[in-house]
Structure 1
Amino acid sequence: MLVIFVCPFFSPAATQMIEAALNLTHVRLAVVAQQPLAELAPAVGSRLVAHWQVADVTNADQLAGAVSAIAAAHGAVARCFAAYEQCQLPLAQVRERLGIPGLPAAASHNFRDKARMKDVLRAAGVPVARHQLVHEAADARRFVHEVGFPIVVKPPAGAGAKATERVRTVAELEQVLQRYAPSAHDPMLAEEFLRGTEHSLETVSINGHAVWHSLTRYAPTPLEVLETPWIQWTVLLPREVDDPAYADIRAVGDRALRALGMTTGVSHCEWFRRPDGSVAVSEIAARPPGANMTTMISRANDMDFVGAWVRLMVDGTFTPPERRYAVGTAYLRGQGQGTVAAVEGLDQVQREWGHLICDYRLPHLGQSPTGSYEGEGFMIVRHPDTGVVQAALARIISTIRVVLR
C-alpha cells in the first residue's frame, strides 16, 4: 500500500517515524517535507518511493498538489498522516478533497482551534477553563471583569506552552493587548488560569473507541518553567496508570474525545487536578505527545511506541502492552546568560542513579539555549517502583547545573 508521511523537517523524531513506516513490509512510503531529500540520512532516504518538497506543509493547496503528484506517479494513496500539530487541519482537508481515509476535517478543526475545542467540550459537559476569543481589547477587559486575574493568553491555534503568557494585572493586560493587537482576523485566546497540578493523558483510539491509555504528571507546569529561568522541568509517568485515583480523568478524557470526533489515532490531553480534587481539561491534540513522552511510554512498556503509532495510523491496529515500569524525564536547563560553558554534577548523578538512566542527551559546550521548558538536554530514568523514579528525578534536577556564560 502507498502511504504518505508529512513533516516540515527531518528532525530526529520525524526520522524515527519515517523509519518505523519503512519497517512495515507491506508499505511503500513517500514523504512530503519542506526540506530537500538530501537532508535526510541516505540510508533512510534511499528507501522512499518518493519525496516531494513544498514550501509550507501547513498550506492545504501545496499539500494537495504534492499528494496528487505522488499519486499520479505511484498509484492510489491509502494513508496520509503526520505528527506535526500545525499541519493536522490542512492535511485533513486534503484527505477529504482526495478521498483518503483519516480524521475528518471537522474533527481536526475541533482539536486545532483551542477556542472552538473548549466550546465543544463545555457543551458536552467536559470541565474546561472559562475562555474568551479576543477580537478587540474590550473583549479581554470584559473577560477579566468576569473571571478576575490572573488569566492566560495564547494563540487560538498554539501548541504546548509556546507564546503562552500569564497576565496578573491591568498594566500587564494592557501591555499584552498592545503587543498582540488582536483583531477579527488575528484574535488571541484568553483563558481562566487553572490552579493545581498539571498532567497529561495519552489515549489510543480505534474507530472512535478508546482502547488504551497512559498518564504523566508535570512538575511544575510548563508555564511556570517558562516564567522562572532557573527551574528544571520534570515529567513523571507512574506505573500505576490504572489506579482508581485516575478513574475520573479517564472518564472525562473518553467523553472529550467522543465530543471532539476522534476516530483512529493517538491523542495527547493536558489536564489539571485542582486543589479541591476535581479535574479540568486544558487542551487536547490529535497526535502523539512531544517532550520525550513517546520514549517514556516505550520504556515503561518495553515496546516501540512510535512503531505502534505508525501501525495504528496505517493498519488501524494496536496491541495493548503490559505496563512494567515507572519512567521519568529530567530536563536539563541552562542557568545564566550566553552559551553552555559547563555541566556540573554529572559524576555525582552517575554514581548515585546511573543504573536507572535508560536514555539521555547531555548539553554540549557552546550550545545556545533553546528558550523552551525542555532545556538543553535530558535524562530519562526508569524503575518498577514509582517512588524510586520520583526520588531520582528530584536528585537529578537538584544536582546537575547547566552553566551559561
Structure 2
Amino acid sequence: MSEMNLLVCRWDRVTLEALLDRGARVTLIFDEWEAANRGIDPELIARVDRHYVIRSFDALDEMAQLAVEIRSTGVKVDRVLSLSEFSQFGAAYLATALGLEQPAIEKSVLMRDKRAMKERARQGGITCARHVSLSTADVEGSVRRVTDELGFPVVVKPAAGLGSVATSLVGDAAELAGILREAGADTVARFLIAEEPIDGDEYHVDAVWEDGKAQILAVSRYLRPRMTVETPGHDNGSILLPREREPELYAEVEELHEWINAAFDITDDITHLEIFRRSDGRLWFSEIATRFAGGAIPESFGPLGADLRELWVEAIMGAGREPLTLRRPPYPYVGWINLAPAEAGTILKDPSDELISRFPYVLDTIRSRSVGFEIGELHPSVWCLMLVIGAESEEQFRERAAELEAALLPAYEMGGTS
C-alpha cells in the first residue's frame, strides 16, 4: 500500500495499530486527560513519527501553534483523522491551517453542535424533531421559547455534548429553569438544545465512506432507546441486523443516508447515525457523527471480519480498490451489551473471565472500566464490561442478554467514592 502521512487526533489503540501495521506515517496528538487516564502504550508511541500532548483540542492558540510546528517539520499531511467527538473542532481547525479541505470547519460545527445539525437537516428536507436553542444567559427567555414553541415534556442536552451524557427528559418549566441555572452556575454562558421527544424503535447506522461510496454500511437496533436506559448495566446494547433478513430496512436507510450525505457533505468519513422508526412508519433523523461509535459497536463487527476501526483503516489505506466485504458471522445476529454496576463508587470486583466463559455464545470481552476504576456518575455511556454475543434470532439475542445480566451483574462489588 502507498505511504500516507496522517495526522491523528486522540488516542485509540486499535486504530493506531491498524494504521501503523499498514505502513502509515503517523503524527499523533492527544490531550493531558488522555495521557493520565488512557494507559498510553510507550511501545506504540515509539512507532509513530512524532507525538504531541496538549491541554485541549478546543484551545485555538494551541491548535494554531501546533499547525505551525507541524509545517516546520517539512511533513506534508495527507489526511487528518479525528478519533473522538471531542477532537472534532480541533481536527478541522488543524486541517484548515495545514491547507486541507477536509475535515472542514463548517462540517465540524454541524457534527458537534446539535442545533446546527438539526437546522441543516431540516433545510435538506430530512425529517427530524423540532428544537429550540437554550442559553444559560437567558433562562427566562429560553423557558418561554420552549413553552411557546414545543411544550413539555422535552429532551434537553448540551448543544455540543456527547451521546446521552447530561441528557434529561424535562417535564415542566420549573424543572427546565433549574437545569439552565445549574448549567450556568459558573457565570459562563452555555448553550443547550431542547427537542420534542421521539418515540419508536431506535437504530444506529455505522458506515465507512470513500469517494462518496459506502465501503461498509450496517444497521443495528438498540435493545431499547438510549433515553430510556435507566442504568448502564441493563438493556444497554444493540443488535446488528443482517441485510439478507432486513432488505427493505436497508433500502430505506440507504436512501435516507443519501439525503444526509448531501446535506452534510459526507464523502470520505466514518459515520455513526442514529434514527428512529416512529409509529407513523417513517424513519426520523436523530443525530450523526463523523467518528466511529462508542460502546462495543466497533468490536461487534469482529465476527463479520474485523473491528469496524480496522475496516475504516483498510478503506483509508486502500483507496481506489473494490469496496470492502463482510463475511458471514458464526450466528445470524451479533451485537453487544454493556454490564455495569447499578451504583456509583469504586469497582472492587467485577465478573471474572472464568464466569464469562460459561456462556459459549459470548464472542468477545471488552473491559473498559474494571477493578479500581471510580464511577462518579451513572449514565448510559458508563462503559464497563462489554460483551459481543451471537444468537439465531433477535428474540434469542434478548434472552441471552437477560441471561448474562442475571448471571454476571451480581459479581460486581463496589466501595465508597474517595
Which amino acid letter does the alignment assign opposite residue 367 of structure 2?
R
Residue aligned with 2:73, SS: helix
Partner Cα distance (1:320, 1:270) in 2: 23
1:348-359 alignment runs, 5 A limit: 350-351=357-358, 353-359=359-365
Partner Cα distance (1:111, 1:386) in 2: 31
Corresponding residue number in structure 2 for 1:288:
292
Corresponding residue number in structure 2 for 1:131:
131
Contact 2:17/2:44 (<8 A) preserved: yes
Shift in Å, 1:4: 1.6
1:207-286 alignment runs, 5 A limit: 207-225=211-229, 227-228=230-231, 231-240=234-243, 243-286=247-290
Partner Cα distance (1:122, 1:349) in 2: 46
Corresponding residue number in structure 1 for 2:5:
2
Matched positions, count: 396
Contact 1:239/1:324 (<8 A) preserved: no
Which amino acid letter does the alignment assign opposite residue 105 of structure 2?
A
Select which of 6, 15, 18 maps to 1:17: 15
Which amino acid letter does the alignment assign opposite residue 404 of structure 1?
M
Label 1:243 to 1:339 Cα distance change in 2 as closer, same or farther (>3 A). Answer: same
Contact 1:327/1:386 (<8 A) preserved: no
Partner Cα distance (1:168, 1:228) in 2: 20
1:379 matched to 2:387? The reply is: yes
Q: Deviations over 1:72-92 (max 9, x none)?
A: 224222222221212213321
Which amino acid letter does the alignment assign opposite residue 354 of structure 1?
P
Residue aligned with 1:198, SS: strand
Shift in Å, 1:355: 4.1
Contact 1:210/1:254 (<8 A) preserved: no
Segments of structure 1 that go 5 or more residues without pairing to the other structure are none
Segments of structure 2 that go 5 or more residues without pairing to the other structure are none
Corresponding residue number in structure 2 for 1:193:
197
TM-score (norm 1): 0.87
Q: Which moved more, 1:183-192 or 1:104-113?
A: 183-192
Contact 1:271/1:283 (<8 A) preserved: yes
Root mean square deviation of aligned Cα: 2.9
1:20-59 alignment runs, 5 A limit: 20-25=18-23, 27-35=24-32, 40-59=40-59
Identity %: 24
Label 1:64 to 1:20 Cα distance change in 2 as closer, same or farther (>3 A). Answer: farther
Label 1:184 to 1:51 Cα distance change in 2 as closer, same or farther (>3 A). Answer: closer
Q: Deviations over 1:226-269 (max 9, x none)?
A: x4577341221122375213432332122112101112011111
Contact 1:197/1:220 (<8 A) preserved: yes
Contact 1:79/1:101 (<8 A) preserved: no
Contact 2:22/2:317 (<8 A) preserved: no
Corresponding residue number in structure 2 for 1:297:
301
TM-score (norm 2): 0.84
Partner Cα distance (2:233, 2:75) in 1: 53
Q: Which moved more, 1:120-129 or 1:104-113?
A: 104-113
Corresponding residue number in structure 2 for 1:394:
402
Which amino acid letter does the alignment assign opposite residue 336 of structure 2?
T
Partner Cα distance (1:147, 1:70) in 2: 48
Partner Cα distance (2:156, 2:312) in 1: 32
Contact 1:330/1:396 (<8 A) preserved: no
Residue aligned with 1:117, SS: helix
Contact 2:336/2:387 (<8 A) preserved: yes
Contact 2:222/2:238 (<8 A) preserved: yes
Partner Cα distance (1:367, 1:34) in 2: 20
Partner Cα distance (1:171, 1:179) in 2: 12
Q: Deviations over 1:53-105 (max 9, x none)?
A: 22212334322322432332242222222212122133212212221352322
Residue aligned with 1:118, SS: helix
1:404 matched to 2:404? The reply is: no
Label 1:375 to 1:83 Cα distance change in 2 as closer, same or farther (>3 A). Answer: closer
Label 1:377 to 1:356 Cα distance change in 2 as closer, same or farther (>3 A). Answer: closer
1:331 matched to 2:338? The reply is: yes
